[in-house]
Amino acid sequence: MGKLFLLHHVVGTFLLDERGEIVKGFLAVKDIDENVEQNLKLESGSDELPASLSRVFEELSADSTYVVETEQLARLLSRRGAAGVEVDRGAEPFRRFRERVADIAVELGFVRSREEYYEYMRAFLTELARRKLRAAARRRDLLAAQSIRAIDDLDKTFNLFATRLREWYGVHFPELDEHIPKHEQYIELVYELGHRENFTIEKLERLGVPRSKAEKIAEAARNSIGADLSDFDIEPIKVMAEIALTMYNLRQRLADYVEAVMREVAPNVTALVGGLLGARLISLAGSLEDLAKLPASTIQVLGAEKALFRALRTGTKPPKHGVIFQYPEIHRSPRWQRGKIARALAGKLSIAAKVDAFTGRLVGEKLVEDLKKRIEEIKRLYPKPPLKKEVAGPLPPKKEKEKKRETRRPRR
């Protein structure tokens, strides 16, 4: 029988002769999802082959030599007992087929027209790319969840270090504390300047302190009531300050990292609430897929489990929002609107998480748009606090939660 060129294409699998004419061929399944699925399986080396390829394999004859373009097809052929197998990439018969593939697809009835061929290919390739992207992003949701936890750990530790340093360095220069409320700036000054004699106007300005403030601090340093310390005593404070600064920088870098990973793993959730909050939701749910399986009402109170259980136990009001409280439009809005906005956001989040986890389509823009409209509507419909119920209702659990969240982040 001589040489046969075996070519697998999206539209089917074919045996070609040396001139590129089709000797035998089978069309692929037309359904795009199914066709994509079968081709992905072939690519991943699964034993399950695309239907058209299996059909061709049933027709193999022992006295033919088969030419293919991939090692993988060569292996599959050998395993099926084909005697002669060659790999010849870009061989003329393959090129001939590719030159006419749109017409061939029409002639064989896979599609009705060249236009339909291109529409089909575009839909096929888009779906294939999406599915592969999703596979590439798999389990990276866990990296996002771990890094957001690391960020929380860093925040806690950094706050602990900062409080300790303020007290410790306060032995030497207690007045500095009230002048510099931002932790990282306080620590940077201690690390860069050390002894309070170094707190001069010029040096402070060089470190970014505005002139008027620098003057006050320099004066406070000159008149400080703190104890004099030797280099020997200042050194360990500086070492600790350096470590705290490293932690602070690491936190910023991790935040950038989480944003980047989240844009890849969960672009729709990220479009709605940003990478950090999105990762926090994934972390609370366990994984992206877990988040996707939660009902919107649960997403709304994720992170407020304590308050929720207390409410169930004592019969007080359940919390209206968990960690999504961090979404600016919720905490910036008046109290009586928050629960409604939280419900709307949770609804969109639930859709976004499902799309991210199961199809990988990009619907973020639309969700953001819809949410914006809903928030505007809430603001229009409920401009004033409802008179009795809400104001009289018990609010304590909510207050407590807000306070706690604030202490979780470094002051800045």
Partner 1 sequence: MSLPVRVSEHPLNRHIYVVELEDGSSKLATLNMVPGKRVYGEKLYNIAGNEYREWVPYRSKLAAAILRGIRSVPLREGDKVLYLGAAAGTTVSHVSDVVGKSGRVYGVEFAPRVMRDFLLVVRDRSNVLPIFADARKPWEYAHLLELVDVLYVDVAQPEQASLTADNAHHFLKPGGKLFFAIKARSIDVTQEPTEVYKREIDTLKRGGFEIIDVVHLEPYDKDHAMVLAEYRG
> Does the footprint of partner 1 cover residue 8 (CB under 8 A)?
yes
Conformational region of residue 20, where left means phi above 0, alpha means psi within -120 to 50, and beta covers everything else: left
Among 6, 9, 187, 273, binds partner 1 (CB under 8 A): 9
- 332-371: contacts with partner 1 (CB under 8 A): 362
Whether 82 contacts 66, CB under 8 Å: yes
Query: Closest CB to partner 1 among 118 and 309?
Result: 118
* The length of the chain, given as a count of residues: 412
With respect to partner 1, which residue has the nearer C-beta, 122 or 335?
122
Task: Give the binding range for partner 1 (CB under 8 A) out of 94-102, 178-186, 287-295, 302-310.
Answer: 94-102
Distance of alpha carbon 251 from alpha carbon 398, whole angstroms:
28
Given 95, 372, 389, 408, the residue binding partner 1 (CB under 8 A): 95
102 binds partner 1 (CB under 8 A): yes
By the rule CB under 8 A, 70 interacts with partner 1: yes
- Looking at the DSSP assignment, which residues form a beta bridge with residue 87? 68
Which of 67, 101, 145, 344 is in the footprint of partner 1 by CB under 8 A?
101
CB-side neighbour CA atoms (13 Å) of 190: 36
Question: Which amino acid would we find at residue 407?
Answer: T
Q: What angle do CA 110, 112, 113 make, to 5 degrees?
A: 115
Of residues 112 and 206, the one with the C-beta less far from partner 1: 112
Which of left, alpha, beta for 360 (phi over 0: left; psi -120 to 50: alpha)? Answer: left
CA distance 409 to 375: 27
What's the sign of the alpha-carbon dihedral 347, 353, 359, 360? positive
Instruction: State how far the Cα of 281 lies from the Cα of 258, in Å rounded to an integer.
Output: 13
Decide whether 102 or 180 has the Cβ nearer to partner 1: 102
39 contacts partner 1 (rule: CB under 8 A): yes
Q: Does 81 sit near partner 1 (CB under 8 A)?
A: no
Residue selected from 20, 25, 194, 267 as contacting partner 1 according to rule CB under 8 A:
267
Q: Does 317 bind partner 1 (CB under 8 A)?
A: no
- Segment near partner 1 (CB under 8 A), from 77-85, 193-201, 251-259, 262-270? 262-270
Element (H or E) spanning 6, and its range? strand 2-9
Binding of partner 1 by 260 (CB under 8 A): yes
Q: Distance (Å, rounded) from C-alpha 306 to C-alpha 294?
A: 18
CB-side neighbour CA atoms (13 Å) of 262: 29
- Least Å from the CB of residue 292 to partner 1: 18
Q: Give the nearest distance from C-beta 41 to partner 1 in angstroms.
A: 13
Residue 142 CB, nearest approach to partner 1 (Å): 17
CB atoms within 10 A of CB 197: 12
Distance CA 22, CA 110 (A): 15
Please say which residue, 137 or 234, places its beta carbon nearer to partner 1.
137
Per-residue interface string for the shown chain with partner 1, residues 120-159, x marking contact by CB under 8 A: -xx-xxx-xxx-xx--xx----------------------
Please name the residue that has the structure tokens 């601090």. Answer: 217
CB of 126 to partner 1, least distance (A): 6
Residue pair 171/223 in contact (Cβ under 8 Å)? The answer is no
Residues interacting with partner 1, by CB under 8 A? 7-10, 39, 43, 69-70, 89-90, 94-95, 98-99, 101-102, 118-119, 121-122, 124-126, 128-130, 132-133, 136-137, 260, 263-264, 267, 362
